[in-house]
Amino acid sequence: MSETDEQGFGFERLEIWRRARDLAAAIYEVTGSFPKQEVYGLTMQLRRASVSVAANIAEGTSRISRRDQVRFFEIAYGSLSEIAAILQIAADQGLVSEGRLPQLRSEMQRMCRMLSGLRRSALGGTE
């Protein structure tokens, strides 16, 4: 077993990555009750965007270049915004419960703040 296997990957120690995994699980849960005609529409778009958040955080942390790190963190941030917009549209269509939407939005706003901090850190605290 290699050292990486024993210690895990660096991104796995980040709270923002763990939250991104939890968000993806929540999105899969919420979209599980969407109508079948939305499988290739809202369902897939939400699921892909939620996976994108976690994947881009992981990929960003693996980059040596600060510029590359920042770019991946910005993509993750954009995916969170995409999820927020699509969830609102889904809620407008009655596909997301009134109680669930505010919970998800609150968590995504918290994650956006965390990603902004991660981005600032990657930039060396400048900006």
Instruction: Say which residue the tokens 């040596």 belong to.
Output: 64
C-alpha dihedral (34, 40, 46, 49), degrees to nearest 10: 160
The average pLDDT across 75-104 equals: 96
Residue 106, both tokens: 């609150």
Start-to-end Cα distance in the chain: 41
pLDDT at residue 19 in the model: 98
Q: What whole-number distance in Å separates Cα of residue 77 and Cα of residue 29?
A: 21
pTM for the complete prediction? 0.90
Confidence band, pLDDT 50/70/90 cuts, at residue 124: confident
Residue 39, both tokens: 């499988």
Instruction: Report the share of the chain in percent with pLDDT over 70.
Output: 93
Name the residue type at position 57: I
pLDDT at residue 3 in the model: 47
Average pLDDT taken over every residue of the chain: 93
Res 125 pLDDT > 70: no
Residue 122 CA to its chain's centroid (Å): 18
Task: Give pLDDT tens digits for 29-78.
Answer: 999 999 999 999 999 999 999 999 999 999 999 999 999 999 999 999 99
Fold category of 14-122 in CATH: de novo design (two linked rop proteins) (1.20.1440)
Task: Give pLDDT tens digits for 106-118.
Answer: 999 999 999 999 9
Res 1 pLDDT > 60: no
